[in-house]
Amino acid sequence: MAEATRSVVLLIVVAIVLLVGLPLLGGVLMMGGMMGPGMMGGWWGGGNPWWMLLPLLFWVLVLVGIGLLAVWAVQQLAPSPGRGQHALDILKERYARGELTREQYEQMRRDLEA
């Protein structure tokens, strides 16, 4: 996939998740405070406080995961300074093994450094 296409797809995915995830996160926070003992038999009303924290923890982890995914994708799209150097090392090895003439080596080195 081309870099431009990958960045557009990533942007769309992050936008959809944020548009869906943030309202859900707000709803979880509101419902956790509004739910009384009601039909749950007291579980939400104070019987077990972990039941109110689990949805919040889940959505926080989802949003952190999306953030880490976005950081990773941006790092993958950015050109690495070492990639061209690796090609020069291979070229030097091929020249040292005698696979290339001096003229071929010089031409390929100029092409890689350009």
Query: Which pLDDT tens digit goes with each residue over 25-56?
Result: 565 555 554 555 555 555 445 556 666 777 88
One domain, residues 87 and 106: yes
One domain, residues 2 and 28: yes
Angle between the 102-113 and 82-96 helix axes, to the nearest 10 degrees?
180
One domain, residues 61 and 100: no
Range(s) of the domain holding residue 92: 81-114
| DSSP of 61-113 | HHHHHHHHHHHHHHHHHSPPTHHHHHHHHHHHHHHHTTSS-HHHHHHHHHHHH
One domain, residues 13 and 66: yes
One domain, residues 38 and 62: yes
One domain, residues 56 and 105: no
Q: Are residues 82 and 15 in contact, defined by beta-carbon separation less than 8 angstroms?
A: no
Query: Which pLDDT tens digit goes with each residue over 54-103?
Result: 788 888 888 889 888 888 888 777 766 555 568 888 999 999 999 999 99
Q: Are residues 73 and 10 in contact, defined by beta-carbon separation less than 8 angstroms?
A: yes
One domain, residues 33 and 85: no
One domain, residues 72 and 88: no
One domain, residues 105 and 49: no
One domain, residues 58 and 114: no
| Residue with the two structure tokens 């109110």 | 52
One domain, residues 35 and 68: yes
- The two tokens of residue 74 are 């941006």
Q: How far apart (Å, rounded) are the C-alpha atoms in residues 99 and 93?
A: 9
Domain count for the chain = 2
